[in-house]
Structure 1
């Protein structure tokens, strides 16, 4: 199953827009950056003046709560954009961006992107959808935190990841690049122990199986039923 995120479906070549050498002269504000696994791309309170495109790799967007507990807001991969709040008045970063694996980024300063949005209705619409999608995702997460218990939140996250990024193989679905139990806990506002207990329970009932690199869903309908 392919990722259904809209940034892969819109008729806008964001890789070419941010990264292609043929645009080097036109996009003077464009730059290229490589980050090793474990590097921070930016931290809270740093200047918010660029927008980033992930050419390859994986980036975590998050913040620090009470007692410096890490709260994960999003995990993004190749073809996705982040740092977009700089376009709507964010002077300093509220979140951190962290390379979860070796990552290559292309970035553009805000003024350059604003000029492109002014000149291109396609780019403008694309960026509006990026921002709108992020708002909707945060609203959905807030509703989940308020109305659902920890078990339902974890299962909902697994189902969402599989439906967006999983590959169907017969009646099963495989999700590669599976997150650690702690990462799942951070993004679902639960504990690592709760995640581990639930995953082991689902595995014992032959609904899923997993290792450090992948999650295999043997029965997606049964997994969805766990959300009720």
Structure 2
């Protein structure tokens, strides 16, 4: 079987109602839906693939769909007038993004871009998800909490920029990422990621050179070990 045929077979399988239902069942946000509502949502979802580093959407595009991530990693960000990139959030599988259309955004204010691997996702029209939220109060409540958490994280980042120095912001980013997505390996924590040093700089509002200096310093202190795509934290409590 040719590679093209394999790709088409994979796409057909992922676009089947069975695959969509399996995805909805694993998506914790939708655990409050009954079977009929899950089936309705699955029927409304559209399958999409994006190659690595390609844009899912860009600033200025219509905010008429919500995205549900199945595989890969997405960065949400914006660009300053002088072209500097700021990464506002990293999205990992079984999370939604592009959700501001639910609260009145008509045009995207940010971009969403695939990182260093292919991305598989589903889209749902804003109007369809709004109808589902109106008939299921718990879903509405969960999505409002999700939006509130996004706002809280944005405020915390702003406070970090005001009150913390560059080194502390980088260390905090490592600690938060490991706590959220790290895997325990004995007494250590392993974080697998898709980030370059420039990406970490864009997240922490520092420079690539500063990120490299801080990571090398932490390695010399035997607090972390890192190579491409991995950060191993020796002792999370000592990382400061």
TM-score category by the smaller chain? 0.7 to 0.9
Q: Which has the higher contact order (CA 8 A, sep 6+)?
A: 1
Contact 2:188 2:234 survives alignment (8 Å): yes
Query: What pairs with 1:101-112 in structure 2 (closer than 5 Å)?
Result: 101-112=117-128
Q: TM-score, normalization: structure 1?
A: 0.87
2:51 aligned partner: 36
State which structure, 1 or 2, has the greater radius of gyration over its C-alpha atoms. 2
2:97 aligned partner: 82
Length, aligned pairs only: 213
- List runs of 5+ in structure 1 lacking aligned partners: 1-6
Question: After the TM superposition, which parts of structure 1 deviate over 3 Å for at least 4 consecutive aligned residues?
Answer: 7-11
2:3 aligned partner: none
Contact 1:51 1:83 survives alignment (8 Å): yes
Cα distance in 2 for partners of 1:92, 1:220 equals 41
1:203 aligned partner: 219
Query: What pairs with 1:38-187 in structure 2 (closer than 5 Å)?
Result: 38-100=53-115, 101-187=117-203
Cα distance in 2 for partners of 1:128, 1:171 equals 37
Cα distance in 2 for partners of 1:186, 1:89 equals 27
Shift of 1:66: 3.2
**Pairwise CA RMSD:** 2.2
Cα distance in 2 for partners of 1:124, 1:116 equals 8
- List runs of 5+ in structure 2 lacking aligned partners: 1-25
Cα distance in 2 for partners of 1:11, 1:46 equals 27
Using a 3 Å threshold, how does the CA distance of structure 1 residues 70 and 17 change in structure 2: closer, same or farther?
farther
Shift of 1:150: 0.5
SS at 1:67 equivalent: coil
Contact 1:12 1:126 survives alignment (8 Å): no
Using a 3 Å threshold, how does the CA distance of structure 1 residues 80 and 52 change in structure 2: closer, same or farther?
same
SS at 1:134 equivalent: helix
Shift of 1:220: 1.0
Cα distance in 1 for partners of 2:169, 2:96 equals 25
Cα distance in 2 for partners of 1:13, 1:168 equals 30
Query: What pairs with 1:2-21 in structure 2 (closer than 5 Å)?
Result: 12=31
Q: TM-score, normalization: structure 2?
A: 0.83
2:8 aligned partner: none
Which of 229, 234, 238 is residue 213 of structure 1 equivalent to? 229
The one-character-per-residue Cα deviations of 1:27-50 (angstroms, maximum 9, x if unpaired) are: 44x311100001101111111111
SS at 1:98 equivalent: strand
